[in-house]
C-alpha cells in the first residue's frame, strides 16, 4: 500500500523539479510559483502518508523514532518558509519570536516537523479572518520552551479536557471549512511524549489557544 502511494508521488515530485528548472517556466513568475507549490505539496503529502502509517501503528506500539542532531530554530524557519504561499494567500501574520539561545536538540526530524506544521495548521484553521499565529522559543535552564499561540475561536473548558484523545475533534464554531479526523493533537501529544518532552495546552473560548512544549536539550 505504501509503495502504491509513494511511487506516483515520487513521479510528481520529479516532474515538478523538471518544471522548476525549465527555462520557460523559470522566466514566468506565475508558472514558477505553481511548479514550486506542486513540488512542496507532493513532498508534504509524502510526509503525511508516513504520518498516517505511523498513527495506525500507535494502537499497539510506540512510534519508531529516528533521532538526529537538529537545530530547533532551523526546523521552525524551514517550515515557515514551506508555508509561505498559504500564509500569503490566507493573509496570515506569522510572528516568529525565536529567542532561545541553546537550540541544538536531539529529535526525529520528520515527526518534529509534523508537530510544528500541525500546530501552525491548527492555529490557522481555527482562527477567523486574517489570523495571527505567534511562535515563540525561550530558554528555561537547559530546556527550551516552545509556544504556538493564536487569537482564534478558542476551546471550551469541557472540550479542553478531551483534547489529545484519539479521534476527538474540537468543535470548530463557525469555521465550516476546517477539515480533519481528530488525529492531529493526539498524534502531536504522542510524539512529544515519546521524545520525553512535556505537552500542555491552555485556551479561552473566543480568545485563542496556546500550546506549550518543553523540549529537553540534555
pTM of the model: 0.73
Q: Treating both helix axes as pointing N-terminal to C-terminal, what angle do 2-21 and 29-57 enclose, rounded to 10 degrees?
A: 160
Between residues 217 and 96, the one the model is more confident about? 96
Beta 208-215 vs 93-98: how paired, if at all?
unpaired
The most confident of the ranges 56-60, 61-65, 201-205, 212-216 is 212-216
Task: Kindly report, residue by residue over 2-33, the tens digit of the pLDDT.
Answer: 556 667 777 887 888 888 788 877 778 888 88
Beta 143-150 vs 208-215: how paired, if at all?
antiparallel
Among 137, 27, 142, CA closest to 76? 137
Task: Kindly report, residue by residue over 35-51, the tens digit of the pLDDT.
Answer: 888 887 787 777 777 76
- The whole-number average pLDDT for the span 146-165 is 82
Amino acid at each position: 500500500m505504501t509503495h502504491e502511494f509513494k511511487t506516483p508521488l515520487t513521479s510528481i515530485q520529479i516532474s515538478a523539479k523538471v518544471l522548476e528548472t525549465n527555462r520557460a517556466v523559470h522566466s514566468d513568475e506565475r508558472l514558477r510559483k505553481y511548479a514550486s507549490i506542486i513540488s512542496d505539496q507532493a513532498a508534504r503529502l509524502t510526509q503525511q502518508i508516513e504520518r498516517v502509517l505511523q498513527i495506525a501503528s500507535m494502537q499497539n506500539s510506540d512510534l519508531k523514532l529516528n533521532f538526529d542532531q537538529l537545530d530547533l530554530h532551523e526546523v521552525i524557519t524551514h517550515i515557515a518558509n514551506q508555508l509561505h504561499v498559504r500564509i500569503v494567500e490566507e493573509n496570515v501574520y506569522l510572528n516568529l519570536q525565536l529567542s532561545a539561545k541553546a537550540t541544538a536538540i536531539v529529535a526525529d526530524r520528520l515527526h518534529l516537523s509534523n508537530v510544528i506544521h500541525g500546530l501552525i495548521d491548527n492555529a490557522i484553521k481555527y482562527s477567523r479572518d486574517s489570523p495571527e499565529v505567534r511562535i515563540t522559543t525561550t530558554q528555561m535552564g537547559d530546556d527550551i520552551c516552545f509556544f504556538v499561540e493564536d487569537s482564534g475561536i478558542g476551546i471550551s473548558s469541557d472540550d479542553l479536557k478531551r483534547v489529545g484523545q484519539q479521534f476527538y475533534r474540537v468543535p470548530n464554531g463557525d469555521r465550516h471549512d476546517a477539515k480533519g479526523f481528530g488525529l492531529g493533537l493526539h498524534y502531536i501529544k504522542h510524539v512529544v511524549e515519546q521524545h520525553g518532552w512535556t505537552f500542555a495546552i491552555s485556551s479561552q473560548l473566543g480568545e485563542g489557544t496556546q500550546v506549550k512544549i518543553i523540549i529537553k536539550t540534555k
